[in-house]
Amino acid sequence: MASKKKNSKITNINSGFTPDRIGVLIFAVLLVYMIISIVQYLNAKHVVGYEVMEGSLSQNNTYTAIALRDEEVVSNDTAGSVYYFATEDRRVAKGDLVYIVDESDSLSDLSSLTGDASAVALTEDDYSELKEDIEDFTSTFNKNTFGSVYDFKSSISGTLSKLVNTSYLNNIGELSSSTHNFIYKNAPSSGIVLYSQDGYEDLTLQDMTSDLFDQSQYEKTTFSSSEVVTADSPVYKLATDEDWSIVIQVPDKETADYLLEKEYINIKFLKNQVTAWGQVSTYTNSAGEIFVEFSFTNSMITFATDRFLSIELITENETGLKIPNTSIIEKNFYVIPSDLVNETAEGNTVVHRKTFLEDGSQSSEEVIVSVHSQVDDNYYIDQDAIASGDVLLYPSTNAEFTVSEVASLTGVYNINKGYADFKQIEVLYNNDEYSIVKSNTEYGLNVYDFIALDATSVTDDELIYK
């Protein structure tokens, strides 16, 4: 009899993870992490950062200046034709011949002196003088002030007339004194001869207005040889003092104060690139217009014929940390005595605030605070840590101090650590776009720090993504 065999069912149980399952698990964890990160990123505020670097600001220091001199207008006391013999923008001594008045107008026929006016020849020195005048004009010509061409034309005509008249002067004694009446006019005092008048002769710093700088409205009368003048008419002027000054208009009080603090400024005259140190003074007129004067004790003769001068102020560029003005913000802080602040063993900065227990007894609590600046014996503390009216206790005496005083600091938001941290700054200089701030201050910025480009886009301690 055959025996029956029982079939036994064997089940294999795998109690461990296969490599495939481990890979799936890791992928799932990473997927969840990525999804959470993306959601956080989308919900977080994104702030444009700016890396703080050392730099300097180039200042726009080019101005148009008005020249002020001691100028004495000389009038003619006798009617007649005037002929000039002194060279313009050259010094004459008291008693030197400046011009002749021809009462009978006999010099209108210049050939009566030489037989042929065209025979008058210019010397090498005469040509050199004319060449110098032309070179000066061409080096400073500005097409925006084309009126200077007419001034140049009058100046050259005056120089030529003077040169020709000087030649005739050598022969003037040949004319009969009974027929011709010449009156010699000498300088009443020493000074620089100028053959023009513009109404600016008596100006001082206190007379300045912005209208005086409008060259389109500027008018100058040039005196020329052979013109017939009446008695008491102005015929020339003398710049009598080597001391002189120039005046510019500045846009704001900050600029004026900055220059005034320097006391002396090195001025470059763009006409000939000459530099000179000028002593600074300022004036604000009744209209609120601000003017700065630079006074000199030499070089007046070089610019004696110029009323308007293009100049550049040579000042030291401020250097430090260069940051955008959009990064700068004013923030309020509570001001408390520094004696109220302690540092714990863990390195936290704390104050002790007065509290009361449930049974009504007095106690105190430690409050962690952030110190942003120290002025004298006071600390500037964040307003989110303590509040107005809080009573703080001095650690050594338990004497009480009530928080109340508020003051503001200028600063930026440092975002190095992924959150907005206010840092105080000290602005050295600024223009319309950037500021130069002092580096390595105790509570301020350092080179390579990252700050919020737009300070209004963040708030204190806010988590941010750059």
Distance CA 111, CA 420 (A): 91
Distance CA 106, CA 100 (A): 12
The token pair that represents 436 in the structure block:
């130069």
Per-residue pLDDT, 176: 46
Count how many Cα atoms sit within 13 Å of the Cα of residue 301 in the half-sphere of its side chain: 12
Number of neighbours of residue 335 by Cβ within 10 angstroms: 16
Mean pLDDT to the nearest integer, 196-201: 93
Distance CA 58, CA 42 (A): 41
Instruction: List pLDDT tens digits, range 24-79.
Output: 788 888 888 888 877 766 666 667 889 999 887 766 688 999 999 999 999 988 88
Distance CA 74, CA 353 (A): 83
The token pair that represents 89 in the structure block:
């923008």
Per-residue pLDDT, 461: 73
Per-residue pLDDT, 253: 92
Q: If pLDDT is split at 50, 70 and 90, which confidence band does 116 have? A: very low
Instruction: List pLDDT tens digits, range 374-406.
Output: 888 999 998 888 999 999 999 888 899 999 999
Mean pLDDT to the nearest integer, 116-139: 66
Per-residue pLDDT, 396: 83
Q: Is the dihedral of CA 143, 148, 152, 154 positive or negative?
A: positive
The b-or-e profile of 18-53 (16+ CB within 10 A means b, else e) is: eeeeeeeeeeeeeeeeeeeeeeeeeeeeebebbebe
Q: How far is residue 308 from each of residues 65, 102, 228, 324, 422, measured CA to CA in Å?
A: 6, 34, 29, 36, 49
Beta strands in 251-361 (DSSP E): 264-269, 274-284, 290-296, 308-314, 319-324, 329-337, 342-343, 349-356
Mean pLDDT to the nearest integer, 103-115: 55
